[in-house]
Homo-oligomer: A and B are copies of this chain.
Amino acid sequence: MSSNSKKVCILGASGYTGGELLRLLANHPGVEVVMATSREYVGKPVHYVHFNLRGIYRNLKFTDINLDAVSKNCDAVFLSLPHGVSLNYVPKILEMGILTIDLSADFRLKNPELYKMWYGFEHPYPDLLNKAVYGLPEIHRDELKNAKLIASPGCNATAGILSLLPLVKNNLIFLDKIVVDVKVGSSEAGSKPSIADHHPEREGCIRPYDADGHRHAAEVEQELSLVVGKSVSISMVPHAVGSVRGALASSHAWLTQNIDDVEMLKYYVATYKNEPFIRIVYKVPPGYPDPKYVVGSNYADIGFAIEKRIGRVTSFAAIDNLVKGAAGQAIQAFNIAMGFEETAGLLIVPPKPV
Protein backbone atom coordinates (compact mmCIF):
# COMPACT_ATOMS: atom_id res chain seq x y z
CA MET A 1 0.00 0.00 0.00
CA SER A 2 1.62 3.28 -1.02
CA SER A 3 2.20 5.85 1.70
CA ASN A 4 -0.15 8.35 0.14
CA SER A 5 -3.09 6.00 -0.17
CA LYS A 6 -6.35 7.23 1.29
CA LYS A 7 -7.46 5.72 4.57
CA VAL A 8 -11.02 4.54 4.54
CA CYS A 9 -13.42 3.47 7.30
CA ILE A 10 -16.51 1.38 6.82
CA LEU A 11 -19.20 1.75 9.46
CA GLY A 12 -21.46 -1.27 9.32
CA ALA A 13 -19.10 -3.66 7.60
CA SER A 14 -20.64 -7.02 8.40
CA GLY A 15 -23.65 -6.80 6.09
CA TYR A 16 -23.69 -7.53 2.40
CA THR A 17 -23.00 -3.98 1.30
CA GLY A 18 -20.19 -3.70 3.80
CA GLY A 19 -18.77 -6.95 2.49
CA GLU A 20 -18.88 -5.66 -1.06
CA LEU A 21 -17.10 -2.44 -0.07
CA LEU A 22 -14.37 -4.64 1.41
CA ARG A 23 -14.22 -6.83 -1.67
CA LEU A 24 -13.96 -3.92 -4.11
CA LEU A 25 -11.62 -1.78 -2.04
CA ALA A 26 -9.22 -4.71 -1.66
CA ASN A 27 -8.23 -4.10 -5.26
CA HIS A 28 -8.41 -0.30 -5.21
CA PRO A 29 -4.94 1.05 -6.03
CA GLY A 30 -5.24 4.14 -3.84
CA VAL A 31 -7.14 3.00 -0.78
CA GLU A 32 -6.36 1.33 2.50
CA VAL A 33 -9.24 0.11 4.64
CA VAL A 34 -8.22 0.96 8.20
CA MET A 35 -11.45 0.33 10.05
CA ALA A 36 -14.44 -1.96 9.62
CA THR A 37 -17.08 -1.84 12.29
CA SER A 38 -19.64 -4.34 13.45
CA ARG A 39 -21.20 -4.36 16.87
CA GLU A 40 -22.03 -8.03 16.61
CA TYR A 41 -18.64 -9.29 15.48
CA VAL A 42 -16.17 -7.09 17.40
CA GLY A 43 -12.77 -8.75 17.47
CA LYS A 44 -13.45 -11.23 14.70
CA PRO A 45 -11.50 -11.09 11.46
CA VAL A 46 -13.58 -9.86 8.53
CA HIS A 47 -13.50 -13.28 6.90
CA TYR A 48 -15.33 -14.68 9.91
CA VAL A 49 -18.44 -13.24 8.28
CA HIS A 50 -17.31 -12.67 4.71
CA PHE A 51 -16.00 -16.14 3.89
CA ASN A 52 -14.97 -14.94 0.46
CA LEU A 53 -12.38 -12.62 2.06
CA ARG A 54 -10.39 -15.43 3.66
CA GLY A 55 -6.74 -14.63 3.04
CA ILE A 56 -7.47 -11.21 1.54
CA TYR A 57 -7.41 -8.88 4.55
CA ARG A 58 -4.95 -10.60 6.81
CA ASN A 59 -5.12 -8.27 9.78
CA LEU A 60 -8.43 -6.47 9.57
CA LYS A 61 -10.78 -7.17 12.44
CA PHE A 62 -14.22 -5.80 13.18
CA THR A 63 -14.33 -3.07 15.83
CA ASP A 64 -17.05 -1.07 17.48
CA ILE A 65 -17.83 2.36 16.08
CA ASN A 66 -15.35 4.83 17.56
CA LEU A 67 -15.63 8.35 16.17
CA ASP A 68 -12.40 9.43 17.81
CA ALA A 69 -10.53 6.81 15.86
CA VAL A 70 -12.40 7.82 12.74
CA SER A 71 -11.37 11.40 13.30
CA LYS A 72 -7.70 10.48 13.63
CA ASN A 73 -7.32 7.80 10.98
CA CYS A 74 -9.73 8.28 8.14
CA ASP A 75 -9.83 10.26 4.93
CA ALA A 76 -13.26 9.01 4.03
CA VAL A 77 -16.07 7.10 5.70
CA PHE A 78 -18.57 4.79 4.09
CA LEU A 79 -21.68 4.27 6.19
CA SER A 80 -23.45 1.03 5.48
CA LEU A 81 -25.88 1.25 8.35
CA PRO A 82 -29.65 0.85 8.47
CA HIS A 83 -31.95 3.70 7.49
CA GLY A 84 -32.47 5.95 10.51
CA VAL A 85 -29.15 4.93 12.07
CA SER A 86 -26.79 6.58 9.63
CA LEU A 87 -28.18 10.01 10.38
CA ASN A 88 -26.88 9.80 13.92
CA TYR A 89 -23.30 9.64 12.68
CA VAL A 90 -23.25 11.66 9.50
CA PRO A 91 -23.32 15.18 11.00
CA LYS A 92 -20.45 14.37 13.35
CA ILE A 93 -18.28 12.92 10.63
CA LEU A 94 -19.01 15.86 8.36
CA GLU A 95 -17.87 18.20 11.12
CA MET A 96 -14.54 16.40 11.17
CA GLY A 97 -14.15 17.47 7.57
CA ILE A 98 -14.05 13.87 6.40
CA LEU A 99 -15.63 12.82 3.11
CA THR A 100 -18.83 11.02 4.02
CA ILE A 101 -20.53 8.49 1.78
CA ASP A 102 -23.82 7.32 3.22
CA LEU A 103 -25.31 4.23 1.63
CA SER A 104 -28.57 4.46 3.57
CA ALA A 105 -31.60 6.46 2.47
CA ASP A 106 -31.10 9.06 5.19
CA PHE A 107 -29.85 11.88 2.96
CA ARG A 108 -31.14 10.92 -0.47
CA LEU A 109 -34.33 13.00 -0.50
CA LYS A 110 -34.26 16.78 -0.64
CA ASN A 111 -37.76 17.32 0.67
CA PRO A 112 -37.94 16.49 4.40
CA GLU A 113 -41.68 15.86 4.12
CA LEU A 114 -40.93 12.79 2.09
CA TYR A 115 -39.20 11.19 5.05
CA LYS A 116 -42.46 11.33 6.96
CA MET A 117 -44.40 9.97 4.07
CA TRP A 118 -42.12 7.14 2.98
CA TYR A 119 -39.94 6.36 5.98
CA GLY A 120 -42.21 7.34 8.83
CA PHE A 121 -39.92 9.70 10.70
CA GLU A 122 -39.30 13.42 11.03
CA HIS A 123 -35.86 14.13 9.61
CA PRO A 124 -33.71 15.66 12.36
CA TYR A 125 -31.27 17.39 9.97
CA PRO A 126 -33.37 18.88 7.18
CA ASP A 127 -30.68 21.48 6.44
CA LEU A 128 -28.20 18.76 5.56
CA LEU A 129 -30.46 17.31 2.90
CA ASN A 130 -29.59 20.02 0.43
CA LYS A 131 -25.90 19.75 1.15
CA ALA A 132 -25.93 16.08 0.25
CA VAL A 133 -25.16 15.16 -3.34
CA TYR A 134 -27.21 12.27 -4.72
CA GLY A 135 -24.46 9.89 -5.69
CA LEU A 136 -25.49 8.95 -9.20
CA PRO A 137 -22.55 9.99 -11.41
CA GLU A 138 -24.66 9.76 -14.57
CA ILE A 139 -26.63 12.79 -13.32
CA HIS A 140 -24.47 14.49 -10.68
CA ARG A 141 -20.87 13.97 -11.76
CA ASP A 142 -19.91 17.61 -11.55
CA GLU A 143 -21.40 18.17 -8.12
CA LEU A 144 -19.74 15.02 -6.86
CA LYS A 145 -16.33 16.57 -7.51
CA ASN A 146 -16.87 18.94 -4.61
CA ALA A 147 -19.13 16.82 -2.48
CA LYS A 148 -18.60 16.49 1.26
CA LEU A 149 -21.64 14.32 1.82
CA ILE A 150 -22.67 11.78 -0.77
CA ALA A 151 -26.06 10.10 -0.47
CA SER A 152 -25.62 6.91 -2.40
CA PRO A 153 -28.75 5.84 -4.33
CA GLY A 154 -30.95 2.86 -3.58
CA CYS A 155 -30.60 -0.15 -5.82
CA ASN A 156 -34.13 -0.19 -7.22
CA ALA A 157 -33.93 3.59 -7.62
CA THR A 158 -30.68 3.29 -9.56
CA ALA A 159 -32.21 0.81 -11.97
CA GLY A 160 -35.37 2.90 -12.26
CA ILE A 161 -33.58 6.17 -12.95
CA LEU A 162 -31.04 4.75 -15.38
CA SER A 163 -33.75 3.00 -17.36
CA LEU A 164 -35.91 6.11 -17.65
CA LEU A 165 -33.32 8.85 -18.03
CA PRO A 166 -33.14 8.84 -21.86
CA LEU A 167 -36.94 8.78 -22.14
CA VAL A 168 -37.73 11.47 -19.59
CA LYS A 169 -34.92 13.81 -20.48
CA ASN A 170 -35.99 13.85 -24.11
CA ASN A 171 -39.72 14.18 -23.41
CA LEU A 172 -40.46 10.90 -25.14
CA ILE A 173 -43.02 9.59 -22.66
CA PHE A 174 -46.00 10.80 -20.67
CA LEU A 175 -44.75 11.63 -17.18
CA ASP A 176 -47.82 10.67 -15.19
CA LYS A 177 -48.27 7.03 -16.14
CA ILE A 178 -44.98 5.26 -15.57
CA VAL A 179 -44.73 1.88 -13.90
CA VAL A 180 -41.34 0.58 -12.85
CA ASP A 181 -41.77 -3.15 -12.43
CA VAL A 182 -38.65 -4.36 -10.60
CA LYS A 183 -37.42 -7.93 -10.15
CA VAL A 184 -34.70 -8.41 -7.61
CA GLY A 185 -32.55 -11.13 -6.05
CA SER A 186 -32.45 -12.10 -2.40
CA SER A 187 -29.25 -10.26 -1.49
CA GLU A 188 -31.22 -7.02 -1.64
CA ALA A 189 -33.01 -7.99 1.54
CA GLY A 190 -29.75 -7.90 3.46
CA SER A 191 -27.83 -10.39 5.52
CA LYS A 192 -30.25 -10.74 8.40
CA PRO A 193 -32.28 -13.98 8.28
CA SER A 194 -36.06 -13.73 7.98
CA ILE A 195 -38.91 -16.06 7.15
CA ALA A 196 -39.50 -14.32 3.84
CA ASP A 197 -35.91 -14.88 2.78
CA HIS A 198 -35.41 -18.28 4.35
CA HIS A 199 -34.09 -20.44 1.52
CA PRO A 200 -37.02 -22.85 1.27
CA GLU A 201 -39.44 -19.90 1.04
CA ARG A 202 -37.41 -17.65 -1.21
CA GLU A 203 -36.01 -20.14 -3.71
CA GLY A 204 -37.99 -20.09 -6.93
CA CYS A 205 -40.42 -17.47 -5.64
CA ILE A 206 -41.94 -14.71 -7.74
CA ARG A 207 -43.35 -12.57 -4.98
CA PRO A 208 -44.55 -8.97 -5.23
CA TYR A 209 -43.87 -6.73 -2.24
CA ASP A 210 -44.60 -3.08 -1.40
CA ALA A 211 -46.94 -3.25 -4.37
CA ASP A 212 -49.06 -0.39 -3.07
CA GLY A 213 -46.08 1.95 -3.18
CA HIS A 214 -42.34 1.35 -2.83
CA ARG A 215 -40.25 4.05 -1.17
CA HIS A 216 -37.56 4.06 -3.84
CA ALA A 217 -40.16 5.70 -6.09
CA ALA A 218 -39.48 8.92 -4.17
CA GLU A 219 -35.84 8.99 -5.32
CA VAL A 220 -36.77 8.24 -8.89
CA GLU A 221 -39.40 10.97 -8.94
CA GLN A 222 -37.01 13.48 -7.36
CA GLU A 223 -34.18 12.82 -9.76
CA LEU A 224 -36.19 12.58 -12.95
CA SER A 225 -38.28 15.64 -12.10
CA LEU A 226 -35.04 17.51 -11.58
CA VAL A 227 -33.68 16.39 -14.92
CA VAL A 228 -36.76 17.29 -16.95
CA GLY A 229 -37.91 20.26 -14.93
CA LYS A 230 -41.43 18.88 -14.65
CA SER A 231 -43.20 16.69 -12.14
CA VAL A 232 -42.75 12.99 -12.83
CA SER A 233 -44.93 10.35 -11.19
CA ILE A 234 -43.50 6.91 -10.68
CA SER A 235 -45.31 3.81 -9.58
CA MET A 236 -42.80 1.20 -8.50
CA VAL A 237 -43.77 -2.44 -8.04
CA PRO A 238 -40.92 -4.66 -6.86
CA HIS A 239 -40.88 -8.45 -7.00
CA ALA A 240 -38.65 -10.81 -5.09
CA VAL A 241 -37.31 -13.56 -7.33
CA GLY A 242 -35.11 -16.54 -6.61
CA SER A 243 -31.74 -15.29 -7.83
CA VAL A 244 -29.21 -14.01 -5.32
CA ARG A 245 -27.78 -10.99 -7.11
CA GLY A 246 -29.17 -8.58 -9.59
CA ALA A 247 -32.06 -6.25 -10.17
CA LEU A 248 -33.93 -5.60 -13.37
CA ALA A 249 -36.15 -2.57 -13.79
CA SER A 250 -38.75 -2.93 -16.54
CA SER A 251 -40.04 0.61 -16.83
CA HIS A 252 -43.30 0.71 -18.75
CA ALA A 253 -44.43 4.01 -20.22
CA TRP A 254 -46.55 5.49 -22.99
CA LEU A 255 -44.89 7.29 -25.88
CA THR A 256 -45.70 10.93 -26.61
CA GLN A 257 -44.80 10.45 -30.26
CA ASN A 258 -44.39 7.85 -32.92
CA ILE A 259 -40.77 6.77 -32.83
CA ASP A 260 -38.98 3.74 -34.18
CA ASP A 261 -36.20 1.64 -32.71
CA VAL A 262 -33.37 3.29 -34.60
CA GLU A 263 -34.35 6.78 -33.55
CA MET A 264 -34.86 5.66 -30.02
CA LEU A 265 -31.44 4.07 -29.94
CA LYS A 266 -29.90 7.43 -30.77
CA TYR A 267 -31.37 8.95 -27.61
CA TYR A 268 -29.98 6.13 -25.52
CA VAL A 269 -26.53 6.41 -27.08
CA ALA A 270 -26.53 10.18 -26.72
CA THR A 271 -27.43 9.92 -23.06
CA TYR A 272 -24.85 7.32 -22.15
CA LYS A 273 -22.06 7.35 -24.70
CA ASN A 274 -19.42 8.70 -22.31
CA GLU A 275 -20.44 6.69 -19.30
CA PRO A 276 -17.81 4.17 -18.24
CA PHE A 277 -20.28 1.78 -16.65
CA ILE A 278 -23.32 1.95 -18.92
CA ARG A 279 -23.56 -0.65 -21.68
CA ILE A 280 -26.38 -0.49 -24.20
CA VAL A 281 -27.93 -3.76 -25.32
CA TYR A 282 -29.57 -3.46 -28.71
CA LYS A 283 -30.59 -6.34 -30.96
CA VAL A 284 -27.78 -8.67 -30.05
CA PRO A 285 -28.15 -11.71 -27.83
CA PRO A 286 -29.64 -12.09 -25.33
CA GLY A 287 -31.85 -9.33 -26.72
CA TYR A 288 -32.42 -7.29 -23.61
CA PRO A 289 -30.48 -6.53 -20.44
CA ASP A 290 -30.29 -9.33 -17.89
CA PRO A 291 -28.65 -8.74 -14.51
CA LYS A 292 -27.10 -12.20 -14.77
CA TYR A 293 -24.44 -10.73 -17.04
CA VAL A 294 -23.35 -7.89 -14.77
CA VAL A 295 -23.01 -9.93 -11.57
CA GLY A 296 -20.12 -8.77 -9.42
CA SER A 297 -19.45 -5.74 -11.61
CA ASN A 298 -20.36 -2.06 -11.62
CA TYR A 299 -21.96 -2.18 -15.06
CA ALA A 300 -25.54 -1.21 -15.78
CA ASP A 301 -26.88 -2.78 -18.97
CA ILE A 302 -29.61 -0.68 -20.59
CA GLY A 303 -32.06 -1.46 -23.39
CA PHE A 304 -35.59 -0.85 -24.56
CA ALA A 305 -38.52 -2.26 -26.53
CA ILE A 306 -41.28 -0.42 -28.35
CA GLU A 307 -44.70 -1.92 -29.09
CA LYS A 308 -45.78 0.38 -31.90
CA ARG A 309 -49.37 -0.81 -32.28
CA ILE A 310 -50.02 0.34 -28.72
CA GLY A 311 -47.57 3.17 -28.22
CA ARG A 312 -45.91 1.52 -25.28
CA VAL A 313 -42.21 1.56 -24.52
CA THR A 314 -40.45 -0.50 -21.90
CA SER A 315 -36.99 0.54 -20.86
CA PHE A 316 -34.81 -1.96 -19.04
CA ALA A 317 -31.90 -1.49 -16.67
CA ALA A 318 -30.02 -4.47 -15.29
CA ILE A 319 -27.60 -3.98 -12.41
CA ASP A 320 -25.93 -5.91 -9.66
CA ASN A 321 -27.91 -4.56 -6.73
CA LEU A 322 -24.89 -4.77 -4.40
CA VAL A 323 -22.44 -3.13 -6.83
CA LYS A 324 -23.91 -0.50 -9.17
CA GLY A 325 -26.88 -0.61 -6.82
CA ALA A 326 -24.80 -0.03 -3.68
CA ALA A 327 -21.09 -0.53 -2.94
CA GLY A 328 -19.72 -0.05 -6.45
CA GLN A 329 -21.68 3.09 -7.10
CA ALA A 330 -20.60 4.48 -3.74
CA ILE A 331 -16.96 3.87 -4.66
CA GLN A 332 -17.51 5.42 -8.08
CA ALA A 333 -18.82 8.59 -6.38
CA PHE A 334 -16.00 8.44 -3.83
CA ASN A 335 -13.46 8.20 -6.66
CA ILE A 336 -14.90 11.32 -8.26
CA ALA A 337 -14.95 13.23 -4.98
CA MET A 338 -11.44 12.13 -4.07
CA GLY A 339 -9.95 12.86 -7.47
CA PHE A 340 -9.16 9.24 -8.31
CA GLU A 341 -9.82 7.76 -11.70
CA GLU A 342 -13.56 7.27 -11.68
CA THR A 343 -13.14 3.59 -12.48
CA ALA A 344 -10.43 2.84 -9.91
CA GLY A 345 -11.05 -0.51 -8.26
CA LEU A 346 -14.16 -1.05 -10.33
CA LEU A 347 -12.92 -2.51 -13.61
CA ILE A 348 -14.13 -5.95 -12.72
CA VAL A 349 -15.33 -8.10 -15.59
CA PRO A 350 -18.44 -10.05 -14.66
CA PRO A 351 -18.07 -13.84 -14.97
CA LYS A 352 -20.31 -15.91 -17.24
CA PRO A 353 -22.03 -18.16 -16.60
CA VAL A 354 -22.59 -17.61 -12.89
Interface residues of A (CB under 8 A from B): 16, 19-20, 23, 26-27, 47-56, 177, 179, 181, 183, 185-187, 189, 191-209, 211-213, 233, 235, 237, 239, 241-248, 250, 252, 254, 279, 281, 284-297, 299, 301, 305-310, 312, 314, 316, 318, 322, 347-354
A40 to B196, CA, bound (A): 17
When distances are taken between beta carbons in the complex, the residues of chain B under 8 Å from A286 are 51, 196, 201, 207
Whether B252 pairs with A237 at a CB distance below 8 angstroms is yes
When distances are taken between beta carbons in the complex, the residues of chain B under 8 Å from A205 are 243, 290, 292
Question: Closest Cβ of chain B: how far from A270's Cβ, in Å?
Answer: 17
Whether B208 pairs with A305 at a CB distance below 8 angstroms is yes
Whether A206 pairs with B243 at a CB distance below 8 angstroms is yes
Q: Identify whether the interface residues of A are mostly helix, strand, loop, or mixed.
A: loop
A351 to B47, CA, bound (A): 12
Question: Which 5 pairs, one residue from A and one from B, show the smallest C-beta to C-beta distance?
Answer: A211-B305, A200-B353, A193-B193, A52-B352, A204-B243
Whether B279 pairs with A244 at a CB distance below 8 angstroms is no
Whether A306 pairs with B212 at a CB distance below 8 angstroms is yes
Whether B206 pairs with A290 at a CB distance below 8 angstroms is yes
Whether B350 pairs with A48 at a CB distance below 8 angstroms is no
Q: Can you list 20 pairs linking A and B with CB atoms under 8 Å apart?
A: A47-B284, A51-B285, A51-B286, A52-B349, A52-B352, A54-B279, A206-B241, A207-B288, A208-B248, A208-B289, A208-B305, A211-B314, A213-B307, A237-B250, A237-B314, A241-B243, A244-B353, A252-B252, A296-B351, A348-B348
Residue in B closest to A316 when the chains form the complex, CB atoms: B208
Contact of A349 among B53, B245, B246 (CB under 8 A): B53
Whether A55 pairs with B309 at a CB distance below 8 angstroms is no
A296 to B52, CA, bound (A): 11
Whether A193 pairs with B198 at a CB distance below 8 angstroms is yes
Contacts A212-B306, A252-B237 given: A244-B52 contact, CB under 8 Å? no
Question: Closest Cβ of chain B: how far from A167's Cβ, in Å?
Answer: 15
Inter-chain pairs besides A208-B289, A211-B305, 17 sampled, C-beta below 8 Å:
A23-B350, A52-B349, A54-B293, A181-B250, A185-B204, A186-B203, A186-B353, A193-B197, A197-B199, A206-B246, A211-B288, A213-B307, A235-B307, A235-B312, A237-B314, A241-B243, A244-B353
Question: Closest Cβ of chain B: how far from A240's Cβ, in Å?
Answer: 9
Whether A354 pairs with B206 at a CB distance below 8 angstroms is no
Question: Closest Cβ of chain B: how far from A245's Cβ, in Å?
Answer: 6
A266 to B136, CA, bound (A): 44
